[in-house]
Structure 1
Amino acid sequence: MNAPMIYELRKPKRIIPNKKYPALFLIHGKGSNEQNIFDVVEGLEKEFFIFSIRGHIPQPPGYSFFTFKVYGQPDRDGFDEGVERITSFIDYAVKEYPVDRSHLYLLGFSQGAVMSMTLALTLGHKIRGIVALSGYIPQFVLEEYDIKPVDGQSVFISHGEKDPVLPYQWGVAAQEYFNEMKASVSFHSYQEGHTVSAKNQEDLTNWLMNDLKGKG
Structure 2
Amino acid sequence: METSMIYELRRPKNIIPDKKYPALFVMHGIGSNEENMLSLVEGLEESFYIFSIRGHLSQGPGFAFFTIEGYGKPHREVFDDGIQRLSNFIDYACENYSLDLSKLYLLGFSQGAILSMTLALTLGKIKGIVALSGYIPQFVKEEYEINPGGDLAVFISHGEFDQVLPFEWGKENAEYFTKLGIPVTFKTYPEGHTVSLDNFQDFRTWILNDLKRGI
Q: Is 1:154 aligned to 2:160, yes or no?
A: no
Question: Who is 1:49 aligned against?
Answer: 49
The Cα offsets for residues 114-159 of structure 1, whole Å up to 9 and x where unpaired, read as 00000011112x0001000000000010011111144541100000
Structure 1 unmatched runs, 5+: none
Q: What's the C-alpha RMSD, in Å, of the aligned pairs?
A: 1.0
Question: Who is 1:32 aligned against?
Answer: 32
Whole-angstrom CA distance in 2 between matches of 1:39 and 1:111: 18
- Give the AA of the match of 2:4: P
Q: How does 1:168-187 map to 2 (within 5 A)?
A: 168-187=167-186
Instruction: Using structure 2 for the length normalisation, give the TM-score.
Output: 0.98
Question: Who is 2:139 aligned against?
Answer: 140
* Aligned CA distance change for structure 1 residues 149 and 32 (closer, same or farther; 3 Å): closer
Whole-angstrom CA distance in 2 between matches of 1:14 and 1:131: 26
Whether the 8 Å CA contact 2:126–2:151 is kept in 1: the answer is no
Instruction: Using structure 1 for the length normalisation, give the TM-score.
Output: 0.97
> Per the alignment, in what secondary structure is the counterpart of residue 157 of structure 1?
strand
Whether the 8 Å CA contact 1:150–1:182 is kept in 2: the answer is no
Q: How does 1:98-109 map to 2 (within 5 A)?
A: 98-109=98-109
Q: CA deviation at 1:95?
A: 0.4
Question: Who is 2:187 aligned against?
Answer: 188
Q: Is 1:5 aligned to 2:8, yes or no?
A: no
Q: Is 1:94 aligned to 2:94, yes or no?
A: yes
> Per the alignment, in what secondary structure is the counterpart of residue 31 of structure 1?
coil
* Aligned CA distance change for structure 1 residues 8 and 149 (closer, same or farther; 3 Å): closer
Whether the 8 Å CA contact 1:151–1:182 is kept in 2: the answer is no
Q: CA deviation at 1:71?
A: 1.2
Whether the 8 Å CA contact 1:34–1:52 is kept in 2: the answer is yes
Q: How does 1:60-79 map to 2 (within 5 A)?
A: 60-79=60-79
> Per the alignment, in what secondary structure is the counterpart of residue 100 of structure 1?
strand
Whole-angstrom CA distance in 2 between matches of 1:23 and 1:151: 18
> Which aligned segments of 4 or more residues in structure 1 are displaced greater than 6 angstroms?
none
Aligned length: 215
Structure 2 unmatched runs, 5+: none
Whole-angstrom CA distance in 1 between matches of 2:151 and 2:98: 25
Whole-angstrom CA distance in 1 between matches of 2:48 and 2:68: 33
